Amino acid sequence: MYETSGNLVNSWYAAGLSSGFKEGKPVKVRIFEVPIVCWRKNDGSIAAILDRCNHRNVPLSDGQIVDQCIVCPYHGWVYNGEGQCVQIPSEGPHVERIPTKKVEGFPVKERYGLVWIWMGRSTPPFKDPFPMPVMAEKKWNHYYMVTHFENNVTDLVENFMDVPHTIFVHKGWFRDRKQIRITADVERTSDSVLVTYDQSNDAIGFSSWLINPKNLPMKHTDNFYMPNNTRVDYIYGAEERGFIITSTCTPVAPFSTMVYTLITYKFGWLTPIAKLGLNSYTRKVISQDVWIMKKHGDNVREFGYQDYRSTQADTMHLYIENLRKASEEQKSPPPPLKKEIEFWV
């Protein structure tokens, strides 16, 4: 998968929540089918190397952390955080016998409550990973959900931005069918797809009694950022209240993806206690997407290929597919484009 993904690999991918990386405990992750072992060192930094001992290729993740190094469980070869073997028990004091070849390492950054690994073939850029909008400085609250989906990144990010499916998959939870006409501007840039809806009087799920009791006008935007990130904003009034769903997708295998979803919210005086009910609500909604995306993925695999027909409501899907396909094929992105669409929900 890694070798066939082209420039899609040239990005930071979430390996897990920061809280899941404890000092002295190996953590195995898989990104683009590449097994990686991570561990937190005494100074708080995180090491990430290929999960394979150079000696007999046993997974290092089954070993132990000793003095900030990882020890292979088979013959006890010891590797530091850069992947260099620093000790071989069977060779006694002869350090000159240690092979110089390192286990491949991966750059790591810890940002926004997540641990990120650079999967690119080149040196990582100076910019940080995708900015997950924690927004603590603006008195918003937030929490993460970590979800495994049995489907691919492209179809998942399209699902996360898709409005028409909500009246069927999330009926009674997120939106009900009312045959309301919705117009939207869909813009494709060199590295994003930006959707702005003209639906200031719309309501989502619990919004009428929790998010928007004052019936403030709503601004709804759905944005995709290459190669694997989505951000859905529901902002009420002059940011008096709001609800933001941000997801970053990490491909594990062709039909296996870990999704790290940040829920950011501001509900006035209810903000400090809203998580009690909001967590259950958002988990229910995402479980419905897990179900439908498994059905979708299973059927694509059963037939062996995708054979889609699209309408105007799928414009954002086509734009996302254009961008990801160009990157996968290591081609220049398609030209910028903007289109006004209409559909009914």
pTM for this one?
Answer: 0.95
Are 143 and 253 found together in one domain?
yes
- Tell me how many domains the chain contains: 2
Looking at 53, 85, 118, the residue that finishes a domain is 118
Closest CA to 342 of 208, 206, 184: 184
Positions of E strands within the chain: 12-17, 27-31, 34-40, 46-50, 64-66, 69-71, 78-79, 85-87, 108-111, 114-118, 141-149, 181-188, 192-198, 218-225, 229-236, 241-253, 256-266, 337-344
Residues 66-79: tens digit of each pLDDT: 999 999 999 999 99
Per-residue model confidence (pLDDT) at position 135? 85
Per-residue model confidence (pLDDT) at position 199? 74
Per-residue model confidence (pLDDT) at position 296? 99
CA distances from 310 to 158, 178, 181, 223, 343 (A): 13, 22, 18, 19, 13
Are 105 and 140 found together in one domain?
no
Asked if residue 123 is part of any domain, the answer here is: no
Please give the mean pLDDT across all residues of the chain.
Answer: 94
CA torsion 230-30-149-313 (nearest 10°) is 40
Per-residue model confidence (pLDDT) at position 120? 96
User: Which CATH number covers residue 308?
Assistant: 3.90.380.10
**How far is 36 from 103, CA to CA, in rounded Å?**
11
Residues 163-191: tens digit of each pLDDT: 999 999 998 877 677 788 999 999 999 99
Per-residue model confidence (pLDDT) at position 210? 67
Are 179 and 323 found together in one domain?
yes
Are 227 and 297 found together in one domain?
yes
Are 178 and 67 found together in one domain?
no
pLDDT band at 342; cut points 50, 70, 90:
very high
Asked if residue 130 is part of any domain, the answer here is: no
Per cent of the chain over pLDDT 70 is 96
**How far is 186 from 307, CA to CA, in rounded Å?**
23
pLDDT band at 206; cut points 50, 70, 90:
low
Asked if residue 267 is part of any domain, the answer here is: yes
Asked if residue 279 is part of any domain, the answer here is: yes
Looking at 92, 118, 144, the residue that finishes a domain is 118
Residues 79-114: tens digit of each pLDDT: 999 999 999 999 999 999 999 999 999 999 999 999
Asked if residue 125 is part of any domain, the answer here is: no
Residues 107-127: tens digit of each pLDDT: 999 999 999 999 998 888 788
Per-residue model confidence (pLDDT) at position 207? 54
| Gyration radius of the chain's alpha carbons | 23
**How far is 195 from 262, CA to CA, in rounded Å?**
19
Asked if residue 325 is part of any domain, the answer here is: yes
Rounded mean pLDDT of 199-205? Answer: 65
Are 169 and 295 found together in one domain?
yes
Looking at 87, 118, 149, the residue that finishes a domain is 118
Are 276 and 156 found together in one domain?
yes
Residue in the structure block whose two tokens are 């690994």? 117
pLDDT band at 202; cut points 50, 70, 90:
low
Are 267 and 222 found together in one domain?
yes
In DSSP notation, 267-284 reads: -GGGTTTTHHHHHHHHHH
Q: Is a pLDDT exceeding 70 seen at residue 333?
A: yes
Q: Contact 82/103 with Cβ under 8 angstroms? A: no
Asked if residue 124 is part of any domain, the answer here is: no
Closest CA to 308 of 316, 32, 300: 300
Are 310 and 196 found together in one domain?
yes
Which one has a higher pLDDT value, 20 or 216?
20
Q: What angle do CA 131, 135, 140 make, to 5 degrees?
A: 145
The residue segments making up the domain with residue 105 are: 6-118
Which one has a higher pLDDT value, 137 or 24?
24
**How far is 298 from 66, CA to CA, in rounded Å?**
43
DSSP state of 7: G
Are 92 and 168 found together in one domain?
no
Are 298 and 160 found together in one domain?
yes
Residues 231-262: tens digit of each pLDDT: 999 999 888 889 999 999 999 999 999 999 99
Peptide bond into 227 cis (omega under 30): yes
Asked if residue 1 is part of any domain, the answer here is: no
Q: Within its chain, how far is the Cα of 78 from the centroid?
A: 32
Are 177 and 82 found together in one domain?
no
